[in-house]
Amino acid sequence: MDTAKDARVLVLEDALRRLNDVVSARRLKIHVEYGKLIEALKIAGSLLYEIKYSYIDAFALAVLEATKNLVAAIDGFADIYNAAIESVGFKPKTGKEQLALAEIDYALRIVKGIPARLAEHNEDPAYAVDILAVEVSQAHPVENSKNLLSCRCTDGTRIWDIVTNISDVKPGVKLACAILPPVEMMNVVSEAMFLGGEALQEATELGLLANPPDSALDQARAQVIQITKRMM
């Protein structure tokens, strides 16, 4: 396997870059041990190099010692970060603060899930990110926008904020979404992207979508390819 060009590895590299950007710019508006965060990222960065240029098959890469140690290093990052957030009950007050937290949450999810993505999926770029079934609980217009809706959704374990231009999204509908790098639109942060506006069947279980529709895979694949192009 060409690990240097595998979408799952490149999305992992992009996630670590995002963590580095947040930490190096000190975008967290809380007291946190930046030195320890930087050290964890340095360790992860050196291990990523070993992973990226290992040229072994995906199953072997999933259990490679370097992969396990990279995940462990970022688990340590997450422990420090979460302790700092919880110690002050931090709540973001601005779009920029919310975006910084969303980027960290996204990146931590990518790192934590890399062993499973390597072991359970093929090299299709669509599977380099998580594709979920979510249920919309709220949908309302974004202030000062022409056609954007801000939606609150659940995957059964947590709430996701998703901004969309799909006009007929309404509470109670189940939709496929991809967990992608968050973006800020009109001072509202979107943590994921709906994959088309076609509702999933009512009986669809929330959470990781076992068999996404082809149209959802096509859209997820296109988004991942845009990420990987920046990393090659």
Give pLDDT, residue 94. 87
Give pLDDT, residue 2. 95
- Alpha-carbon Rg of the chain, whole angstroms? 18
Residues in the chain: 232
Architecture of domain 127-231: Beta Barrel (2.40)
Let me know: does 103 contact 144? Beta carbons within 8 Å: no
DSSP the chain: --TTT-HHHHHHHHHHHHHHHHHHTT---S---HHHHHHHHHHHHHHHHHHHT----HHHHHT-HHHHHHHHHHHHHHHHHHHHHHHHT----SHHHHHHHHHHHHHHHHHHHHHHHHHHS-S-GGGGS-EEEEEEEEEEEPTT-SS-EEEEEE-SSSEEEEEE--TT--TT-EEEEE----EEETTEEE--EES-SPPPPTTPPSEE-SS--HHHHHHHHHHHHHHHHHH-
Give pLDDT, residue 20. 97
| Residue 164, beta-bridge partner list | 149
Domain 7-123, CATH 1.20.1440.150 — does that match? yes
Give pLDDT, residue 116. 97
Does this model's pTM top 0.75? My answer is: yes
d(CA 37, CA 93): 23
Give pLDDT, residue 227. 96
Give pLDDT, residue 167. 87
Give 157's Cβ-side CA count (13 Å radius).
6
Q: What is the pLDDT along the chain (232 residues), one digit of tens a residue?
A: 999 999 999 999 999 999 999 999 999 888 999 999 999 999 999 999 999 999 999 999 999 999 999 999 999 999 999 999 999 888 888 889 999 999 999 999 999 999 999 999 999 999 999 999 999 999 999 998 989 999 999 999 999 999 999 988 999 999 999 999 999 998 899 999 999 878 999 999 999 998 899 999 999 999 999 999 987 6
Q: So where are the chain's domains?
A: 7-123, 127-231
Give pLDDT, residue 210. 87
